[in-house]
Amino acid sequence: MKRRQLLQAASAIGLLPNFGHAQAAYPNKPIRYIVPVVAGGGSDMVGRTLTERWGALLKQSFIVDNQAGGGGVIACQAAARAAPDGYTLLQGYVATHGTSPATRKVPYDPVKDHTPIGMIGATPNVLVVNASLPVRNIKEFVEYVKANPGRLSYGSAGQGSLTHLTMELFKQQINSFMVHIPYRGVALAFTDLIGGQTQAMFPGLAAAVPHMKSGRVRALAVTGPKRHSQYKDIPTLEESGFTGFDAQQWYGVVGPAGMPAPIVKHLNDTLSTVLKSPDLREKLSIEAIEPITMTPDEFGAFIKAEIVRWTAIAKARNIQLDN
């Protein structure tokens, strides 16, 4: 009884949050929303589009805080160090909570240092080849790679990136070899793919679409559990006989570890409502992102599964980066 009275007294004078009324009182001031990339790109657009609508529903503004650097390390550390009161959130994605922890030692624990709030959505990666390559489908591509061992090369957005690991998963499954050429970003990788210096790549769908439409690259298959709603003519790798290719570029929301359950639930409930909005779906479709709702527990399990998946691939393909 004495301990309960002390906690109640501390809560009353503001030393502790009053969890019993957290949902009613929260939020009563602007929410800081950390995005781990520079302003202006696709990830930033996702964050700003989401928070504009989320803030309207919560009747409170979001302040988007772009913290680029270290492949998301700076942003993840900032979120981990913040007070777990619901007023600092982080837009995590496949790199910060998947591929980076799998391929390098990061100064944060993506599971223990963050509270999962919910998924935002995902876009598949797509296997594209140079338009001059004499293949029209995934079967022909596999045959061509096997007939030309070591003669083909593929580009990626960098060592340990999703574009790199996805192709390594593909190489593992077809038991054949292609030379990896890492670039500083997917735009440079596309330049050489189009120019014929490399022959294949696994970029995100949104980045590939302009080049697909121009005819400079040919799309053979997409990752993910089902065909993309906007590009239903492109088969999935799963239906082409490959397993484990639900790998996607995904985005979600986490907060500092130890957030009160009522606040987490309120954020998840309102996030789920926003994601059902036709207006938001239309905006996200620009980046070929399809909204996905998950409970906090489901999203937490998803993050753990992503880390396990990419760690296994990194170990199998001997991919371990120094920083």
Q: With contact defined as beta carbons under 8 Å apart, do 56 and 24 qualify?
A: no
d(CA 111, CA 304): 7
Residue 24 pLDDT:
52
Q: With contact defined as beta carbons under 8 Å apart, do 127 and 71 qualify?
A: no
Task: Based on DSSP, count helices (H) and strands (E) in the chain, helices before strands.
Answer: 12, 11
What letter would DSSP give residue 275? H
Transcribe 93-125 into DSSP letters.
ETIIIIIHHHHS--SS-TTTSEEEEEEEEEEEB
Phi, psi of 119 (to 5 degrees): -80, 150
Q: Tell me the CA distances in angstroms from 195 to 68, 145, 210, one per residue in order.
A: 30, 19, 15
User: How many C-beta atoms lie closer than 10 Å to residue 163's C-beta?
Assistant: 25
Instruction: Tell me the β-bridge partners of 217.
Output: 130
Task: Dig out the tokens for 286 from the structure.
Answer: 């620009």
d(CA 46, CA 184): 22
Cα atoms found within 13 Å of the Cα of residue 158, Cβ hemisphere only:
11
Task: Dig out the tokens for 317 from the structure.
Answer: 């393909």
Q: With contact defined as beta carbons under 8 Å apart, do 253 and 90 qualify?
A: yes
CA dihedral 32, 33, 34, 36 (to 10 degrees): -160
Residue owning tokens 């790798």:
237
Instruction: Tell me the β-bridge partners of 200.
Output: 129, 154
Q: Tell me the CA distances in angstroms from 278 to 53, 283, 288, one per residue in order.
A: 12, 9, 14
- Residue-wise pLDDT tens for the chain (323 aa)? 344 433 443 343 344 444 444 445 899 999 999 999 999 989 999 999 999 999 999 999 999 999 998 889 999 999 999 999 999 999 999 999 999 999 999 999 999 999 999 999 999 999 999 999 999 999 999 999 999 988 999 999 999 999 999 999 999 999 999 999 999 999 999 999 999 999 999 999 999 999 999 999 999 999 998 999 999 999 999 998 998 888 899 999 999 999 999 999 999 999 999 999 999 999 999 899 999 999 999 999 999 999 999 999 999 999 998 76
Q: Which residues contact 160 (CB under 8 A, 6 or more apart)?
A: 99, 100, 102, 103, 104, 314, 319, 321
Q: With contact defined as beta carbons under 8 Å apart, do 199 and 213 qualify?
A: no
Residue 323 pLDDT:
60
Residue 89, exposed/middle/buried by CB under 10 A (0-12, 13-18, 19+)?
A: buried
Transcribe 12-44 into DSSP letters.
HTTSS--GGGHHHH--SS-EEEEESS-TTSHHH
The pLDDT > 70 percentage for the chain reads 92
Q: With contact defined as beta carbons under 8 Å apart, do 237 and 245 qualify?
A: yes
Q: How far is CA 315 from the centre of its chain?
A: 21
